[in-house]
Amino acid sequence: MSITNAQKKQYRLIGHALNPVVMIAGNGLTETVLTEVDRALEDHELIKVRISITDREVRTALIAEISKIMKCEVVQTIGKVALFYRAALEPNPKLSNLLR
């Protein structure tokens, strides 16, 4: 599942106005955090995640791990915020950030 550069540009434009839906702090990737990321991706397709960890390498590793586990694409990372995309199985026009 790879997205084109044009799609990334469009998703970055949409993602600019979004607020982080999931926040990850000192406990890292717990089961509940992964469950919430999965639910948010299924509902919204395009989400922001804030990772409040100061070490840059750990943050980068967490972003890569989320992408691998959730089978989603990293659209953009700026500082402590990452933008993820995964197409929903049944998109809901009222919840999807792409269809609104």
**Closest by alpha carbon to 38, among 76, 82, 7, 72?**
72
Residue 56 is which amino acid?
Answer: R
Query: Model pTM?
Result: 0.95
Q: For residue range 21-59, what is the model confidence (pLDDT) as tens digits?
A: 999 998 989 999 999 999 999 999 999 999 999 999 999
Here the tokens at position 56 are 């840059």
Query: What pLDDT does 42 receive?
Result: 96
